[in-house]
Amino acid sequence: MPTNVHMHQIGEVAEAVALSLRTIRYYEETDLVPPSGRSTGGFRLYTDADIERLRLVKHMKPLELTIDEMRDLLTTRDRLADPTTPRQQCDELLDRLAMFAELAEERCQRLRDQLEAGEMISRTLRAELDAATKPSRAQR
């Protein structure tokens, strides 16, 4: 590890990413985001890149990807970013990334549909409430 890399303890990381310590530890246990190091006292230490990876995992959650799917996506991205990955493997990885992009688009559309349904019921309830609480002309 280069000496100029700033390392962050798990509490600082949890606050920066708005995740619980328990969630960050779980992501370590499932090998999604292992810490880049440990302090002499055994505390987990994370780099800025680790923090960005945690943010990415957090943003995957609404898409309801499984842990295995998230790990596969992260591995795919890592291997594509690795300049030593052979060209033939890059083509396969790009196909895999395209599959994940399509899956994310489908899940986003499902979330938009759910939001639209929720907003519709919210408007309906608000209109019912407004109608029920307006004084009638007979009460004036």
Local structure of residue 65 (DSSP, 8 states):
-
Look up residue 5 and give its two tokens.
């890399």
Distance between CA atoms of residues 50 and 35, nearest Å: 7
Reported in sequence order, the residue ranges of the chain that DSSP labels E, i.e. its strands, are 8-9, 37-38, 44-46
Q: What is the pLDDT of residues 30-83, one digit of tens each?
A: 999 999 999 999 999 999 999 999 999 999 999 999 999 999 999 999 999 999
pTM: 0.81
Cα separations (Å) of 30 from 42, 88, 101, 130? 19, 29, 23, 49
Q: Does the pLDDT at position 2 exceed 60?
A: no
> Within 10 A of 35 (CB to CB), how many other CB atoms are there?
21
